Chains A and B, each alone.
Chain A
Amino acid sequence: MAGRWSTENPLKSVLPRNASALALDCTGKLALLAGHQSFDIVKLDNLPIVKPICVSRKGKMKTDVTAAEWNPHDAEKLQFATISNQVAEIYNSNQGDDWILEHTLKAHTRNVSDLNWSVFDPCLLATCSADTYTYLWDTRTPKKPCMEFSAIAGAGQVKWNKKNPDTLATVHEGGIRLWDKKKGNQTVHCISAHPSTIYGLDWSPVEENYLATAAQDGTAKIWDITDSAKCKDELRTDSALWRIRYAPFGDGIITLMLPQIRQVDKMLFLWSQSDLSLPVFSFTGHEDNILDFHWRKMREDSTDYQLVTWSRDRKLLVWRVEPHIQRLCGVDTPDVMEMHSSGDLDALSAPPSLSHSSGTATPTQGSIQNGHGFIGESPHLLDGGVSTSPEENKMGITLDQELSRLQVPVRDVMVDKIDRVNRTCVLVCTVGKNLTELGLIFPEMYPVQAIPHFKVVSSNCIRDLITQENLIKSLQETCYHQLEIGKPCIEACTKQLSALMDAIILSGQSNLSVTTNRPVPPSLRHNYGGMMDGNVPFPKTCGARFCGVDKLIVFSRPSISKKGGVGFLGTPKALSALSVSTISSEVRSLGTYYKDRERKQKRTGRHRRKSGGQETGQTSNFSRSFLALCDVSLLLPIHHNLAESYKIIPDDIPLMCSLNTKAAAAIGRSDLVQTWSMVAHACVSNLSPSSDPDQTPWAYHPFGRNLIMSLFEHYCNIHDVQMLAMLCCIFKPHLHHSNTVYSQMSKPFVYSNDSSDSAVFRRQWSSNSLSSLININLADADDDYKFNEQRDPQEEEMEQHHNCKQLLDPSKARQYDQFLLSYAEILFRWKLLDQRAQVLQRLTNPNHPVRNLLNFSDLIVSCYNCRKSSPSIRCDSCRRYKFQCSICHLMVKGCSFFCLVCGHGGHVTHMMNWFQLESLCPTGCGCECELKTKKELEKSIALTPQGLG
């Protein structure tokens, strides 16, 4: 007897019947092998004696079981669930001998792909399906799912978190979605994990937030769901991975390859998460493809771990994972000594070498290797030491595997009547009321050297033989193409069939002009077809945008038919539509997509034209969009010409009104002529209010404020911001004495500390005091300014009178300011800067960020003191203000005016006074500042706001 650890080669038992799924119960005593006809329940303790209890399956539809799982809870330990086709079934037994079908869970509309019992709730089962839904079932209410989660792509796997009773994960093609039972049908989190389909998923039994995925691209990744930006760890193999499961000991993790043609021996690897560069162990011994594996539940205190595997040749193997293997996965095993002492050491040259690190779990000696299934396999074999022909490497899977993991990517095609024994299946394609059944027979050489045979079984839309032949020919081409690139055929066929049937049905004619190999210019080849395309919206190829003030830019696809909308096909939602409708594996451009669609529409509309030769190089023409710039000024209430000709003369309102009446008349706006004439009447001098508070002001007359308000209301309704702003200009009371825009700019400074201007200040506060005195929040006002609480009643009366005599409601001052600001913005876009300045001058509360934009993004100011340049107004190094006034030689803190050419300038008032008399720079540099700055401004309009602000 050799060493105990190595002679315990897997218990090998052969079962009488084929089965496609393996499940182990929570006691570790029973194994379920679910097959086509019946279930075999095997008592693991009795092995290798196999006396399975056979439970024959009910119902007519005896299809392969995709997966099976025992209820993991002790209370329900004699209950198991299976999935096949579109239903899940729950079987139960009272005593362990008589198994009855307890519930049939029907809700999915496509094949159910996976199931999982909740680890926390014995009544809760999750199933997921290619129909994109994941359902939760309560076994007490099996009539319908108790909760549903929907995604865009079909779900391939569903697994409950092993630590958190609410979280579950599903995989959809290359992405992982996390759901929370409490949050309902809303993805909690989405991870785009792999660039190819994920087949295997497992949660860590230790860490709540860790899960592992295994994918077709041969990689497996460990994720921390709280930080999903990138995977925690990754392992790579050179062939597609089918399953991944955490080991119940240490940091071990087990991967199962997708079955290869001849390479049946090296499929199952054990890895240690501490170093995923190489596997620490390989389970070799099976003579055929391993279909599934599970860990057997052992006693709590046991350090004995057993792995049960099931292969296609009906062999059930039980492997014992020896302590030294566990040690490779970071388990501190106490019984190494025992192992050494009890065993014969003749075959034990390996353990010492095995134990030191994962990477060297190698070359266990020949004496062990021979005749024992349980060996440490040389990991480097993974990297190409295996002698397989290139075809086998490319063709990763067998027909069985292809069929069992098949996820049909298009909605209108179903794969039915799968017969694995005779290697046949039927594709059922339903487009509207048109049903076509296509039989597929897979020769023995498929998928390595042969393509399937096709036969139209029945169809209510293809009647003539020529169409049938064309259809089959096209599908065959697809298959040959798939064969060449080493990929399975069924999925590609379903896509192609769907596209072809669309074409056939829409055209109603027999010649299929679907060309499979039309070359696309390289520049049009896109990277469409990523795994996330299901979320990416379908590209917009037509649009309209308002730009500037009165322009509309319109772009659209060129269309061939003048009359669109015949036999209309809806526009797809997601970008994945492009790749789904792709003929063969070629990725389409949008141009060809629309061309094909156009053609289909035409056919339906019987707008056929005589075919006149194959179009060549038309793709680019077709892809060229139409783009036009439109003028929409006639639709808008505002007008560029009016903006130019309107005058704002606050000191002479009647003159202003008459000039503007003429301006409106000049462009033929009689409605505006009326308004201006009326406004002129409202402004005549004998209506102006007297200063005596005892006289009722004109504003209180029915034609006073009411009339003006109704004007405002009207122009608000038609969104005529131009007129609204002009009305504000007329009816706003004069607040400030100065007329220059520059002094406006300095007002914020005045407010904060200049007591001489307190009249203005108080007036503004007082209107506040009428309504919401308490709410005033003196943010950072000077504290020494006291609010006058005991005010002179007469003063108060005067203020009230002042508010009352205004034609505009002073409480709406902010809104009026906004009209002015909006109009100023439009004038800016029109580059009418003088008008803009005049409008801004009328603001009540100029303390608005628009005019405080003192950032010199384009101007660099150099400090007069230390000559260092920076865009700020204070020098960064000497902390002083940078400007010195050329006239008074003091620092300029607030508003400044300076020449853009010579750079000299100073306080606005000083400069204004100077240039009223002089034309040359006050410093005597000889620069004609006014003239040159004006030219400079005209040259670069972008600088203007800084120049003014």
Chain B
Amino acid sequence: MVSIINSIDTAHEDMIHDAQMDFYGIRLATCSSDRSVKLFDVNNGQHTQVADLRGHEGPVWQVAWAHPVYGNILASCSYDTKVIIWKETNGVWEKHYEYTGHESSVNSVEWAPHEFGLVLAAASSDGSVSILTHKEGTWEAQKINAHNIGCNAVSWAPAVQPGSLLEPPSTQTQTHVKRIVTGGCDNLAKVWKEENGEWQQECAPLEAHSDWVRDVAWAPSIGLPQSMIATCSQDNRVIIWINDESTGNQWTPKILNTFSDVVWNVSWSITGNILAVSGGDNKVSLWKESLEGQWVCVSNVNKGDGQNPPHPTTDAQPEQ
């Protein structure tokens, strides 16, 4: 079901912490403990390094691509408390903006749906989430005190409001509401929405995890009248939260699975029905909701499948 197209030697000097491809799936960005962000063009099994972005003074935790209507723009966040926005102009990647408004490690960045403009959310261990908005050439920052002890992840809701889908059509321009979900060290995930320029919690916090929430992911919308959020936690569990807008603003949790180790990442497919889960056990699994509403594991993406790891020498050597 899942086939490896190519395995890529990033030549990072230390562990990779995130890898993301752009909108079209042709350009890859990776970031690592070696403080660098690298960009690759990936095409038909070939890859070439395009840029090696240096500027962070600590391990880089996460990268995010902006929608291409705004140009080729990448955001990265790091342990050094900074968020850097990189931009390509005439084929040259340069630092476009550096945000230093956090007091502790910035753990997660994500761009808002392009309908809202060029807007970035960044979650930090100082407990706050920054919303950076590009307005007339400058960046404006807004801070949300999201989680007291520390905020580990942030994810944007799609621009569509599922509740409005079933309303009869009107000629009125639909106003989209910015919404995000954040996950923190208080074991909670919280849903926030912007109202009159102010960010407020939309509903009661999503409370089901018994340890730090490590990642949150709002499922993309294809036009179904429900919202879905996946959260994963230090407590080894992945929980799917479903909000059927018809039953009011209520998030119902459902445990997808309890894994053998900490779960670090959750990622939705574009159709919003497959979830990729990965964690401390160094394994990746894909989960799909069956027609009966049960989540089943459809694939274990093991790097052993199909292709050898890129460093066979490492395996051969004794490690004493």
Identify the A interface with B (CB < 8 A). Answer: 152, 186-188, 190, 192, 229, 513, 521, 523-524, 526-528, 532, 535-560, 562, 564-565, 568, 570-571, 573, 575, 589-591, 594-595, 598-599, 602, 609-615, 618, 620-632, 634-638, 716-721, 724, 751, 761, 764-765, 767-768, 770-772, 776-777, 779, 810-819, 821-822, 826, 828-831, 844-845, 847-850, 853, 855, 857-858, 941-942, 945-946
In contact, B301 and A630 (Cβ under 8 angstroms): yes
CB distance from A287 to the nearest CB of B (A): 44
Q: A551-B21, A564-B282, A829-B25 are in contact. Are A621 and B169 (CB under 8 A)?
A: no
Chain B hits for A847, CB < 8 A: 171, 173-174
Residues of the A chain whose Cβ atoms lie less than 8 Å from the Cβ of B250: none
**Contact status A615-B288, CB under 8 Å:** no
Looking at B92-100, B189-197, B272-280, the stretch in contact with chain A turns out to be B272-280
Q: Is the CB of A635 within 8 A of B286?
A: yes
| The residue from A535, A560, A811 contacting B314, defined by CB atoms under 8 A apart | A560
Give the residue name and chain of the A residue nearest to B36 (CB).
A523
A548 pairs with B24, CB closer than 8 A? yes
Interface members, chain B 150-196 (any A CB < 8 Å): 150, 152, 159-160, 164-174, 176, 185-186
Our pick among A539, A770, A850, A853 for the contact of B59 (Cβ within 8 Å) is A539
The residues of B that contact A152 with a CB separation of less than 8 Å are: 149, 185
Q: Is the interface of B mostly helix, strand, loop or mixed?
A: loop
Q: Please report the C-alpha to C-alpha distance between residue A176 and residue B173 in the assembled complex, in whole angstroms.
A: 48
Query: Does chain A have a CB within 8 A of B307?
Result: yes
A545 in contact with B19 (CB, 8 Å): yes
- Flag if B281 contacts A630 (CB, 8 Å): no
With a 10 A CB-CB cut-off, give which of A528, A546, A826, A857 has the most chain B CB atoms: A546
A186-B186, A555-B19 are known; give 11 further A-B pairs, CB within 8 A.
A554-B278, A571-B279, A624-B12, A628-B5, A630-B4, A630-B5, A721-B222, A764-B171, A812-B165, A816-B223, A819-B223
Taking CB atoms, residues of chain B closer than 8 Å to A615 are: 317-320
Min CB gap A821→B, angstroms: 8
Measured CB to CB, the nearest residue on chain A to B8 is: A627
Whether the pair A622, B314 counts as a contact (CB closer than 8 A) is yes
Q: Measured between alpha carbons, how far is A575 from B149 in the docked complex, in Å? A: 14
* Given A192-B104, A615-B319, A850-B115, residue A546 in contact with residue B276 (CB < 8 A): yes
* A628 touches which of B4, B107, B165, B261 (Cβ 8 Å): B4
Residues of B within 8 A of A (CB-CB), count: 122
Contact of A565 among B127, B260, B288 (CB under 8 A): B260
Give the docked Cα–Cα distance between A845 and B304 (Å): 49
- Whether A549 and B319, one on each chain, are in contact in the complex, defined by CB atoms closer than 8 angstroms, is no
Q: Is the CB of B79 within 8 A of A527?
A: yes
Are A636 and B284 CB-contacts (below 8 A) given A571-B261, A814-B165, A857-B69?
A: no
Chain A proximity mask over B95-114: 1 for CB below 8 Å, otherwise 0: 00000000111010000001
Within 8 Å by CB of A599, from B19, B103, B314, B319, lies: B319
Also in contact, A942 and B20, with CB within 8 A (given A551-B25, A818-B222): no
Quick one: which of A535, A539, A636, A858 contacts B269, CB cutoff 8 A? A636
Residues of chain B within 8 A of A772, CB atoms compared: 168
Given A627-B30, A631-B5, CB of A537 within 8 Å of CB of B125: yes
Are A632 and B282 in contact, with the CB atoms below 8 A?
A: no
- Chain A proximity mask over B70-103: 1 for CB below 8 Å, otherwise 0: 1110000001100000000000000000000001
Give the residue of A190, A595, A764, A821 whose beta carbon is less than 8 angstroms from that of B169. A764
**What separation, in Å, do the CA atoms of A777 and B59 have in the docked complex?**
51
A628 pairs with B21, CB closer than 8 A:
no
Q: How far is the CA of A623 from the CA of B20 in the complex (A)?
A: 20
Contact B8 A628 (CB under 8 A): yes
Q: Would A547 and B284 be within 8 Å (CB), given that A539-B33, A541-B15 are in contact?
A: no
A590 touches B126 (CB 8 A): no
The 8 closest A-B pairs by CB, nearest first: A548-B25, A571-B280, A547-B21, A818-B223, A611-B320, A535-B150, A625-B16, A544-B276
- Whether B104 contacts A623 by the Cβ 8 Å rule is no
Question: Are A814 and B59 in touch, CB under 8 angstroms?
Answer: no
B3 touches A542 (CB 8 A): no
Q: How far, in whole Å, are A501 and B65 apart by their CA atoms in the complex?
A: 45
| Chain A residue, CB-CB nearest to B265 | A543
In contact, B271 and A558 (Cβ under 8 angstroms): no
B267 touches A542 (CB 8 A): no
Nearest residue (CB) in A for B304 is: A562
- A635:B68 contact, CB within 8 angstroms: no
Taken together as a complex, chains A and B put the C-alpha atoms of A565 and B279 apart, in Å, by: 13
Q: Are A626 and B171 in contact (CB under 8 A)?
A: no
Check if A532 sits within 8 Å of B104, measured CB to CB: yes
Q: Are B58 and A527 in contact (CB under 8 A)?
A: yes
B201 sits at the interface (CB 8 A): no
Q: Is the Cβ of B23 less than 8 Å from the Cβ of A627?
A: no
Complex interface: chain B residues within 8 A of A830 (CB): 24
Q: Are B223 and A724 in contact (CB under 8 A)?
A: yes
Q: Is B32 an interface residue when CB atoms closer than 8 A count as contact?
A: yes
- The listed residue (A523, A548, A942) touching B13 by CB distance below 8 A is A523
Q: Which residues of A contact B57 (CB under 8 A)?
A: 527
A813 touches B260 (CB 8 A): no
Q: Does B42 contact A (CB under 8 A)?
A: yes
Contact B149 A190 (CB under 8 A): yes
In the bound complex, residues from chain B placing their C-beta under 8 Å from that of A625 are 10, 12, 15-16, 32
B252 to chain A, nearest CB (A): 18
- Given the known interface contacts A190-B126, A536-B104, A552-B301, the answer about A629 and B5 at a Cβ–Cβ threshold of 8 Å is yes
Contacts of B126 in A (CB 8 A): 190, 192, 532, 535
Judge whether A627 and B13 touch: CB under 8 Å.
no
**B223 close to A721 (CB less than 8 A):** yes
Cα separation A764 to B291 with both chains bound (whole Å): 35
What B residues does A521 contact at CB under 8 A?
A: 13
B105 near A532 with CB under 8 A, answer: yes
Set of chain B residues within 8 Å of A527, measured between Cβ atoms:
57-58, 79-80
A155 to chain B, nearest CB (A): 14
Asked if A638 contacts B271 (CB within 8 A), the reply is yes
Q: Does B243 contact A (CB under 8 A)?
A: no
A543 to B215, CA, bound (A): 11
Determine if B262 and A571 form an interchain contact, defined as CB atoms under 8 angstroms apart: yes
Known contacts being A541-B16, A724-B222, A776-B170, is A630 close to B8, with CB within 8 Å?
Answer: no
Name 11 interchain pairs, CB-CB below 8 A, sorted by A: A192-B104, A192-B126, A535-B105, A543-B284, A546-B268, A551-B5, A556-B284, A624-B13, A632-B1, A814-B166, A815-B223
* Cα-based distance from A153 to B148 in the complex (angstroms): 14
Which B residues are in CB contact (< 8 Å) with A826?
270
Q: Out of B17, B34, B115, B303, name the residue touching A541 (CB < 8 Å).
A: B17
- Find out whether the CB atom of A621 lies under 8 angstroms from the CB atom of B311: yes
Q: Give chain B residues whose Cβ lies under 8 Å from the Cβ of A575.
A: 79, 105
Q: Which of B23, B107, B115, B176 has the largest number of chain A CB atoms within 10 A?
A: B23
Q: A551-B25, A622-B314, A819-B223 are in contact. Are A589 and B14 (CB under 8 A)?
A: yes
CA distance A523 to B15 in the complex (A): 12
Query: For the complex, is B309 an interface residue (Cβ under 8 Å from A)?
Result: yes
Among B1, B107, B260, B313, point to the contact of A635 (Cβ < 8 A). Answer: B1
Whole-angstrom distance between the Cβ of B300 and the nearest chain A Cβ: 11
Q: In the complex, are the beta carbons of B278 and A537 less than 8 A apart? A: no
Which of B19, B28, B148 gathers most chain A CB within 10 Å?
B19
Contact present for B222 and A719 (CB under 8 Å): yes
* CB-based nearest A residue for B233: A573
Contact between B262 and A629 (Cβ–Cβ < 8 Å)? no
Interface centre among B171, B211, B264, B267 (most CB of A within 10 A): B171
**Does the CB pair B311–A542 fall under 8 Å?**
no
Q: Which of A523, A535, A611, A845 has the most CB of B within 10 A?
A: A535
Given A523-B13, A548-B24, A629 and B6 contact (CB-CB distance below 8 Å): yes
Question: Contact: A630 with B271, CB < 8 Å?
Answer: no
Closest to A589 in B: B14
Query: If the complex has contacts A152-B149, A532-B105, A624-B12, are A815 and B225 also in contact, measured as CB distance less than 8 A?
Result: yes
**Interfacial chain B residues near A535, Cβ < 8 Å:** 104-105, 125-127, 149-150, 185
Q: Tell me the complex Cα distance, A610–B320, Å.
A: 8
Task: Flag whether B52 is at the interface (Cβ < 8 A).
Answer: no
